[in-house]
């Protein structure tokens, strides 16, 4: 048998106290003289023997109570050489130290040092942290392990425990040796503990729970905007989800919104215990460009998550490309050609610039007779990369090639041209294209009439929204929503030979909103340690490959060069763990700021819910090598039983004493 706290055994010297009290009884007895004691002698002898027996038993139970309490605090356990952590021969030791924000790192490092001190200098050690970086995944000697431990700092990364557990076991499995043990030192936040994903093998595990940190915390979990597009002069409706990760209600918690370091809105929130609320904030966009922003919440003592950062990229112009078969559409030029907010480009389909497609928000296929395979593939990439597409048919359209393209994208297809006069008699006033168009609903609004049209046919595998509908239920205009964009399909060409739509009152709002809403709102923020790829906003200049791209923090002097790659989403920055602080960042090329983004800490670390120390062993029992006999429970029962027997004996002694006095 061994003892987890052997120094408590020195408390056994306390047994001298009840023994001394028993043998050196300092009570003084008063003599009482009787005229005749012959009748009492028999009773006196009997009472004296019974009294002595009770006192010896009382001494025994008092000593046993002290012994049981001392053994309880010394935490005895049964030694099992097969389960011993430190074994003869070479030991392979992996120590995971949780260095996330919620952990008191000095105590975690002290625990790791205590563990390493149990082993010899010939054993091999591996130090893992929440970063799980490549430089950690190798074994070192004891001295080098201590050096790495002393250099350990807090990290914003927050991995699931299954990632840590499985990584440690894979490293141990690849190392030669029989004696392999993995130690996991953590506060075991409930949001990160997913033991159901642990791998099971024969490697020994020891879970070392740390003291909890501060459990009261209010933080911003996420935010988003309700607007489908952001433009100068428009109001932004921001939604902020605030969580109370504590066991007490919080009142009048202030939230402050800053844009370009200037406070533009403020709000307050009342939260019950463990409650979350969505708080609305709104402000007007006063300029184009990069708007670095943050929301500050006043909360203590946990302060690392008091600021939540996001970046709005407001384009000066929305870029639209019209691919034409032969000539430009005069009605589209008249609508968009002179607008300051729209950059409208025309190009013949015979001479397309595929490399520039990614810089546009909307591509209009204006009267194309056919769509060849090369163009179809580029358009498909464009839509997958959040670009919107508008299809305007022509009488000479080759249905076979056009429908082959539509089928490849699971879109509705065109049927044969119908030459008949038919009127649109229904429109979906609740469609997003008509948002803010009508202040009041006009019952007898003028709707377009077509002289001919291509029926738009949908199948069970296609999604479609009917915007304008003919009297025979065929679609005049249909929208097929994609992942983050839309495909607009007209059944007619935009000229008077097809219909009078170009002169109708709905022509301008439908075309204008389809352009404005095609501008995809870039991602507002990324989480450190979870998303290492930053997608740059669409830029006119697509020749960044030969330039050096750098990233600089707006909060401090941090600056580094990321990896620049291209994929179907355009230009992407890979950070490779070069960022450890939340904040707003600028993307710089040749000294000019071309874009920006924001990074926040993972909200998992902000949820101050921990697994109790007693529950850690219960929840991780199947994976732990420390399955001890429950001596603590046994010694508590024995100590209580001894105290109960002592109480009964005291009662009997008092009763016997009263009888003697009588």
For 565-607, write each residue's pLDDT tens digit: 876 666 788 888 788 889 999 999 888 888 899 999 988 888 8
pLDDT band of 541, cuts 50, 70, 90: very low
Parallel, antiparallel or unpaired: strands 204-209 and 179-186: parallel
Structure tokens at 55: 């006192």
pTM: 0.70
Tell me the residue length of the chain.
Answer: 662
Q: What is the pLDDT of residues 466-517, one digit of tens each?
A: 999 999 999 999 999 988 889 999 999 999 999 999 999 899 999 999 998 8
For the cut 90, the answer to whether the pLDDT of residue 630 exceeds it is no
List the beta bridge partners of residue 292. Answer: 311
CA neighbours closer than 13 Å in the CB half-sphere of residue 453: 27
Cα–Cα distance, 541 to 539 (Å, whole number) = 5
Domains, the chain, ordered by start: 2-78+633-661 (no CATH), 91-213+610-627 (3.40.50.410), 318-516 (3.40.50.880), 526-600 (2.60.40)
With beta carbons less than 8 A apart as the criterion, state whether 600 and 525 touch.
Answer: yes
Q: Is 406 helix (H, G, I), strand (E, B) or coil?
A: helix
Cα–Cα distance, 125 to 113 (Å, whole number) = 12
Burial letters 239-264, b for 16+ CB under 10 A, else e: ebebbbbbeeebeebebbbbbeeeeb
With beta carbons less than 8 A apart as the criterion, state whether 368 and 344 touch.
Answer: no
For the cut 60, the answer to whether the pLDDT of residue 539 exceeds it is no
DSSP code string of 287-313: SSEEEEEEEEE---S--TTSEEEEEEE
For the cut 70, the answer to whether the pLDDT of residue 55 exceeds it is yes
For the cut 60, the answer to whether the pLDDT of residue 370 exceeds it is yes
Structure tokens at 515: 């352009």
Q: Of all residues in the chain, what percent carry a pLDDT higher than 90?
A: 40
Task: Residue 461: count other Cβ atoms within 10 Å of its Cβ.
Answer: 8
Cα–Cα distance, 476 to 448 (Å, whole number) = 9
pLDDT averaged over every residue in the chain? 84
Task: Residue 412: count other Cβ atoms within 10 Å of its Cβ.
Answer: 21
């Amino acid at each position: 048998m061994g003892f987890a706290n052997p120094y408590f055994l020195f408390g056994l010297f306390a047994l001298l106290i009840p023994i001394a009290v028993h043998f050196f009884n300092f009570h003084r007895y008063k003599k009482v003289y009787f005229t005749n004691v012959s009748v009492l002698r028999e009773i006196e002898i009997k009472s004296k023997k019974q009294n002595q027996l009770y006192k010896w038993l009382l001494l025994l139970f008092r000593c046993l109570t002290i012994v049981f309490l001392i053994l309880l605090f010394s935490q005895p356990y049964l030694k099992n050489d097969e389960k011993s952590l430190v074994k003869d021969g070479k030991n392979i030791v992996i120590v995971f130290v949780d260095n996330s924000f919620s952990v008191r790192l000095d105590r975690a490092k002290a625990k790791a040092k205590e563990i390493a001190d149990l082993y010899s200098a010939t054993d091999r050690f591996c130090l893992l942290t929440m970063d799980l970086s490549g430089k950690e995944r190798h074994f070192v000697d004891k001295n080098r392990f201590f050096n790495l431990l002393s250099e350990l700092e807090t990290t914003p990364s927050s991995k699931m425990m299954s990632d840590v557990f499985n990584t440690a076991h894979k490293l141990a499995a690849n190392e030669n040796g029989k004696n392999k043990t993995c130690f996991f030192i953590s506060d075991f936040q409930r949001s990160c503990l997913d033991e159901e994903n642990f791998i099971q093998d024969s490697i020994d595990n020891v879970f070392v729970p740390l003291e909890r940190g501060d459990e009261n915390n209010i933080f911003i979990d996420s935010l988003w905007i309700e607007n489908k597009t952001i433009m100068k002069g428009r109001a932004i409706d921001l939604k902020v989800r605030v969580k109370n990760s504590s066991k007490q209600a919080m009142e009048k918690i202030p939230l402050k919104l800053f844009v370009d370091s200037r406070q533009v809105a403020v709000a307050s929130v009342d939260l019950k215990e463990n409650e979350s609320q969505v708080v609305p904030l709104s402000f007007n966009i006063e300029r184009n460009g990069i708007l670095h922003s943050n929301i500050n919440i006043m909360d203590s003592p946990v302060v690392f998550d008091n600021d939540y950062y996001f970046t709005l990229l407001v384009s000066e112009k929305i870029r639209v490309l019209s691919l034409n078969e032969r000539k430009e559409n005069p009605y589209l030029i008249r609508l968009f050609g002179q607008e300051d907010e729209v950059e409208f480009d025309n190009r013949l389909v015979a001479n397309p610039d595929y490399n520039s497609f990614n810089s546009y928000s909307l591509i209009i296929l204006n009267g194309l007779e056919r769509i060849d395979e090369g163009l179809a593939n580029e358009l498909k990439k464009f839509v997958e990369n959040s670009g919107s597409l508008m299809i305007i048919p022509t009488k000479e359209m080759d249905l076979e090639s056009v429908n082959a393209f539509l089928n490849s994208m699971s879109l509705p297809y065109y049927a044969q041209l119908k030459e008949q006069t038919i009127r649109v008699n229904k429109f979906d006033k609740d469609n997003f294209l008509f948002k803010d168009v009508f202040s009041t609903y006009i019952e007898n609004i003028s709707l377009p009439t077509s002289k001919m049209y291509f029926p738009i046919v949908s199948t069970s595998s296609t999604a479609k929204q009917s915007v304008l509908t003919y009297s025979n239920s065929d679609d005049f205009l249909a929208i097929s929503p994609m992942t983050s964009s839309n495909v607009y399909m007209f059944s007619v060409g935009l000229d008077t030979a097809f219909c009078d739509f170009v002169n109708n009152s709905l022509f301008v709002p439908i075309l204008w909103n389809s352009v404005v809403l095609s501008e995809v709102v870039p991602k507002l923020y990324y989480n450190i340690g979870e998303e290492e790829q930053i997608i740059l906003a669409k830029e006119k200049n697509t020749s960044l490959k030969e330039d050096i791209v750098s990233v600089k923090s707006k909060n401090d002097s941090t600056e580094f060069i990321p990896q620049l790659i291209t994929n179907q989403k355009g230009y992407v920055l890979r950070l490779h763990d070069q960022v450890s602080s939340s904040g707003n960042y600028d993307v710089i090329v040749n000294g000019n700021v071309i874009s920006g983004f924001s990074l926040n800490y993972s909200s998992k670390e902000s949820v101050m819910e921990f697994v109790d120390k007693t529950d850690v062993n219960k929840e991780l029992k199947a994976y732990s090598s420390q399955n001890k006999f429950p001596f603590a429970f046994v010694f508590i029962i024995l100590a209580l039983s001894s105290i109960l027997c002592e109480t009964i004996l005291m009662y009997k002694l008092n009763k016997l004493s009263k009888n003697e006095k009588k």
